[in-house]
Amino acid sequence: MTSKPHLSRREILSSIPVLTFGSSLLPSAGQGAPPQALGVIRGTLRDKATAKAVAAKIHMMNVMTGETYVPVSAIKSMLGMGQDPAAKRYFYTRGNYEVAVPPGAYSIEVVRGICHKPVTTHIEVGAGMTGVRDIDIPLLWDLRSDGWYSGNTHTHYHIVLDGDPDARLRLVPVAEDLDISVISYVVRNESPYITNRYPIGRLPDFSRDGTLVDMGQETRNDSPLLSAGYGHCLFVNIPRIVEPVSTGILSRDGKAPDFPTLSMLCSDAKRIGGTTIWCHNGEGMAMPIAAALGGIDAFNVADGQEADYERYYQLLNCGFRLPISTGTDWWIYDNNRVFVQIEGSFTYDSWIAGLLAGRTFVTNGPLLGFTVSGKGPGSTLKGPQVSKVVARAVSVVPFERLEIVQDGTVVAQQTAWNQQEARLEKEIPVKRSGWIAARVGGNTKTGGGYTVFAHSSPVYLDLEGSPPRHAEAAGKFVDQIEESVRYLRKNYRFGSEADKAEALRQYEQGRMYYAKLVAKG
């Protein structure tokens, strides 16, 4: 598996379109200042189901020239790493919008998350005239009515790219219709992560408009020869920072030892009541160790990368019961989010409890419904020989097919109707303990430039006398750990021989865990 490198400050800045005009409107293409005789387009954005004013993002374009217009003080959408700088840009607004524009005809696209349908309308305005266009945003799927609440578990800003980060933090998650937004404290040498200014824990000053914001941390270790190193892990719902935040070449001076191991830091985070979420599709030498030692609570796919399920399936096939999760990593530029079904009223604690229980699905567009014999993700079914699987996917982002995955193998699929909806019902024979999940497959791309994905946490199948363990999956981890040990011995730095011995002891514990699964067949 390969990861996308974090870009340097200069690379990030050079990728951003420069908007240089000081007028009340800005053509994003940068093609000269607008004329003096302007019109105004304004209106109110409302949730069609409740008639209440809501936050959203808007793309306003002159249909003749193709130029995009935004208010000069507006918070604009950010681009993903490596995304085409010419990709569509939006501005965020809360409830009302007003934009001064040259006379002409305009399209107005309004987007509010992925549970609402995007709305596109057209309006013409003359010089000195005001055009009013109120816009009602319809629901695509009211998941909250069934207890599903969305979250982004992984976000930080590297530098001040586009406006006040406080204002961005207050508006963007709300306009993206996120219920939970987790910011990650992170250390990468002396890099100026602007979000490091916020204190660890709940951020009530940023949680007043419908999104609950929490400040956690991302603990990391990379290697100059093996980019993922130990790997990256999120600690959320923590009362304080877990030190060290980064080790080895990522430490503040780049000279710290590669110690403690990331599996040790996961244990530290859990001891203080934190929730641990491994990042980036399970990359890193320490991931299988942390899993074996009980240090991982959930597994992030795709955050900052293309979704890759290989290591997630490998863990599930070893018998681990790990909820699936996700985030965006570098700011919010795409629809990555984890939906969690809660019990009782919505709070951050009830959301974390639902995450830990495995009542989740992840997506960057398609919304999933999934049951096995009437039970949803995170559930355990005991003893069925045939399971009835019911799955549904609907999406504002085009997708190609809905799939059912059993123990890592696709066992049923349904082509999407009009690339927007699919439904699948099938009886699946169950011959041994294992797991079943739903996912969306295909090659279509989101506006953020990533392949469309959605994946549920599993429903687990427990057949008496048939353990949910596959020797092949465990054997791969044994091989990977043995290779990691050779790499650690040769390349990693430790402050003492005792520290090195402790790191190697952790790896031996992990290796023995998987070796026993192999021996059991």
Task: Read off the CATH number of the domain in which 394 is found.
Answer: 2.60.40.10
* Structure confidence at residue 161 (pLDDT): 58
Q: Assess whether 176 and 207 both reside in one domain.
A: yes
Number of domains present in the structure of the chain? 4
Q: Assess whether 130 and 169 both reside in one domain.
A: no
Q: Where is the domain boundary, 116, 137, 158?
A: 137
Q: Assess whether 434 and 504 both reside in one domain.
A: no
Q: Is 212 exposed, middle or buried (0-12, 13-18, 19+ CB in 10 A)?
A: buried
Of the CA atoms within 13 Å of residue 139, those in its CB half-sphere come to 11
Q: Where is the domain boundary, 332, 360, 388?
A: 360
The sign one gets for the Cα dihedral 296, 298, 303, 309 is: positive
* Structure confidence at residue 128 (pLDDT): 93
Q: Could you list the residue range(s) of the whole structural domain that residue 199 is in?
A: 141-360
Q: Assess whether 178 and 196 both reside in one domain.
A: yes
* Structure confidence at residue 330 (pLDDT): 86
* Structure confidence at residue 160 (pLDDT): 53
Q: Is 190 left (phi over 0), alpha (psi -120 to 50) or beta?
A: alpha
* Structure confidence at residue 36 (pLDDT): 59
- Does some domain include residue 488? yes
Computed on alpha carbons and rounded to an integer, the radius of gyration of the chain in Å comes to 24
* Structure confidence at residue 289 (pLDDT): 98
- Residue 32, token pair as written in the block: 């000269």
Q: Assess whether 70 and 156 both reside in one domain.
A: no
- Does some domain include residue 301? yes
- Of 74, 119, 78, residue with least CA distance to 100: 74
Q: Assess whether 69 and 94 both reside in one domain.
A: yes
pTM of the model: 0.92
- Does some domain include residue 70? yes
Q: Assess whether 174 and 276 both reside in one domain.
A: yes
As a whole number of angstroms, the distance between CA 136 and CA 171 comes to: 19
As a whole number of angstroms, the distance between CA 239 and CA 274 comes to: 8
Q: Assess whether 356 and 369 both reside in one domain.
A: no
- Does some domain include residue 262? yes
* Structure confidence at residue 82 (pLDDT): 74
- Of 428, 422, 423, 384, residue with least CA distance to 406: 428
Q: Assess whether 146 and 273 both reside in one domain.
A: yes
Segments of the chain scoring below 50 in pLDDT: 1-33, 35
As a whole number of angstroms, the distance between CA 138 and CA 51 comes to: 10
Q: Assess whether 251 and 400 both reside in one domain.
A: no
Q: What is the CATH number of the domain that holds 89?
A: 2.60.40.2190
Q: Assess whether 187 and 308 both reside in one domain.
A: yes
Residue showing tokens 């959320």: 236
Q: Assess whether 288 and 244 both reside in one domain.
A: yes
As a whole number of angstroms, the distance between CA 418 and CA 452 comes to: 15
